[in-house]
Amino acid sequence: MNSSERIEKAIHLQPLIGGEVPVAPLIITFTGRLAGIKQAEIFSKVKSWRRAVDLAVKKIGAPDMGFAIFPRDVPFSEELRFRLPGRELGENELFQLIEEEVMLREDYEQILKVGFARWNLDYFVRLDPSLPRGGRGRAIVTLKFIRMGLRIRGNAAQLDRLGILPAFYSAFIPPFDLFSLARSINKFSTDLYDCPDLMQKACDASVAPTLATTMQALMPTGGKRVCIYPMRSSVTFISPKMFEKYSLPNLKYMVEFLVKKGITPIIHCDANWTPLLHFFRDLPQAKCILELDGDTDIFKAKEVLGDWMCLKGDVPAQMLAFGEVGEVEAYCEKLISVVGKGGGFILGSGCEVPLNAKVENVQAMIRVARGTAKTG
Amino acid sequence: MNHIDSLFQAVVDGNEPGAIAGLESSLQANLPADQIMKAGLIAAMTEVGRRFEAGEFYLPELVVSARAMKSALHLLGPSLVKAGTPSTGRIAIGTVQGDLHDIGKNLVGMMMEGAGFEVMDLGTDVSPARFVEVVQNDHVNILSLSALLTTTMPNMAKTIEALKAAGLRDKVKVLVGGAPVTEEYARQTGADGYSQDASGAARLAKRFMGA
């Protein structure tokens, strides 16, 4: 059974018969560590990045899914200001996002006035003070997106050659979560009290343009998987009532839209989603992947969603960085035997493998998955 | 409802205009500043923290309550100074060297202010030397160190080592926290306390001060 077949079986909640549980640690920046290439280099040169991917696969073996995104495109697509290795940071440091109030409360009105697509380009221009304002700035941002799409196509082709399934071909942050990031958490929290209706109207008006951009981004590759980042909808940031009222309806609409187009949504859920897991039963059955990090109880997720949705996760970053091989092996075995029971599971890391993860711990993840073919 | 009760309730409800009105009416009624502070503001934020830890409140409630509290505290400030009311203690907060994340740190700062602490916010990417300097020169009772990356977590232990090297370790209590930080990791760093959230950090800090 190849990677594609394993992943398809996991998504469709089919038992794995004598095969292997898919394994897909989220490795982007860690590729540089594995390859012995500095962060500054993999962030600045596509060639270096692709060389690093080849070397990393030689070092740890081929996981079932990989990430076809050039590292510098990661902070760019997060829609926040950022600091890069070799630019503002040391040559081998991890990039960092800076959350500031770049979007103002009056931007909700502006979105309703000019439309989300135009506003979003202006927002990208505002994020980067080096860009010219107005039409020229918007054209430069558009060009950056086109180049990013072309890079994804090239990266995906490389992964295909390596026998690795590209995890996704396009990604987006739902409007509710984007506004939370762009406003900054404290300002957005006050919006939920001071002007919830206006915020909601702006969210609703942003859904269709977000989906349209996503579909456009898929065109160069014809890819069939999209990652969704509802990164501010967990109970770490809002209450379950707020999630149900403001975030869930649009998330559900967007997931259903993609599924109807034959696309598999990968819902990347960092932070604590445990009290919200039952809401995911409102999403289409056996059509999505739910990625969890160590903050959500993945064993509870299996209880609530085991018959509904493929789960992916969740070896915690701190375990990969500071734990011992035996600890990682034991945790992966537990995940496979409990969460993987009956199928519907992909062994992954809780969010991105940290830059200071021990190589032997990541190797252990892959080894355990490859050596365990008894689920189902 | 008396003046202090309305102030208390407005802060708990995150009602900023209500908190300002409650504070003004308390001052007009000539209530002592320290009573307004303790029974109105600190008690309200303690209740907010309790509800947060009990899962009745979430981050947005905490933020709007802190906003109401800060606006009222701003108006109360001159009266506190005039009355010579001491703060609960002085605390310096910062995200450790190499780490630019500040959401958690800012929440801790808000809850510490709500607990009556004088808060020195050192910002992000704070070097061990800067933390040492603050302990040395600013009569700080508590240091609160935050980290969001596994790559910067070791700088918590380095900061504590730097305090030891400067002969200041016993002059200050050290609290650590941040999404990837666990209680076990906190113990390994040599910190005095760990909390998984801002409300718990404020409760711990008050305990350190015997408040």
CA pair distance A189, B175, nearest whole angstrom: 26
The domain defined by B89-208 folds into Rossmann fold (3.40.50)
Task: State whether B103 and A99 contact (CB < 8 Å).
Answer: yes
Task: Identify which of B197, B180, B183 has the alpha carbon closest to the alpha carbon of residue B51.
Answer: B197
B173 beta partners: B142
Hey, are the CB atoms on A318 and B180 less than 8 Å from each other?
A: yes
Closest Cα partner for A291 from A156, A165, A175, A168? A168
Single-letter amino acid code for the residue at A281? R
Instruction: Tell me the chain A residues in contact with residue B98 when contact means C-beta distances shorter than 8 Å.
Output: 93
pLDDT tens digits along A333-367 = 999 999 999 999 999 998 899 999 999 999 999 99
pLDDT tier, A20 (very low <50, low <70, confident <90, very high otherwise):
confident
> Is B106 within 8 Å of chain A by CB?
yes
Q: Which residue among B55, B63, B100 places its CB closest to the CB of A96?
A: B100
- List per-block mean pLDDT (blocks of 10 residues) for chain B, which spans 211 residues: 93 97 96 95 96 96 96 95 92 97 94 95 97 96 96 97 97 96 95 94 95 82
Cβ A316 vs Cβ B182: under 8 Å: no
The answer to whether residue A19 scores a pLDDT higher than 90 is: no
Q: Do A171 and A213 form a contact (C-beta atoms < 8 A)?
A: no
In this prediction, residue A95 has a pLDDT band, given cuts at 50, 70 and 90, of very high
Provide the 10 A C-beta neighbour count for residue A174.
Answer: 25
Residue A376: pLDDT band with limits 50, 70, 90: very low
Q: Which of A238, A295, A316 sits opposite B58 (nearest CB)?
A: A238
Per-domain residue ranges of chain B: 3-83, 89-208
Residue pLDDT, tens place only, A192-245 = 999 999 999 999 999 999 999 999 999 888 999 999 999 999 999 999 999 999
d(CA A199, CA A176): 8
- DSSP H helical segments within chain A, as ranges? 3-11, 30-35, 39-44, 46-60, 73-77, 107-114, 116-127, 135-161, 175-183, 185-194, 196-218, 240-242, 248-260, 298-305, 317-322, 325-334, 359-371
Q: Do domains B3-83 and B89-208 have the same CATH topology?
A: no
What pTM was estimated for this model as a whole?
0.94
Tell me the average pLDDT across A36-50. 97
Are A302 and A338 a contacting pair, CB within 8 Å?
Answer: yes
Residue in chain B nearest A85 by alpha carbon: B98
Contact A189 B60 (CB under 8 A): yes
Contact A110/B at CB under 8 A: no
Distance in Å, alpha carbon of B56 to nearest chain A alpha carbon: 9
pLDDT recorded at residue A220: 86
Give the mean pLDDT of A102-110.
98
- Cβ pair B65, B14 in contact under 8 A: yes
CATH code of domain B3-83: 1.10.1240.10
Residues 261-300 of A with CB under 8 A from B: 271, 275, 295
Q: How much is the average pLDDT of A151-170? A: 95
Contact A239 B61 (CB under 8 A): yes
Chain B residues touching residue A99 (CB < 8 angstroms)? 101-103
Do residue A96 and residue B101 have CB atoms under 8 angstroms apart? yes
- Please give the pLDDT value at position A254: 98
Which distant-in-sequence residues (6+ apart) come within 8 Å of B31 by Cβ? B3, B4
Pairing of strands A81-83, A96-98: antiparallel
* pLDDT at residue A374 in the model: 40
In chain B, what residues touch A29 (CB-CB under 8 Å)? none
Q: Which of A151, A201, A211 is nearest to A176 (CA)?
A: A201
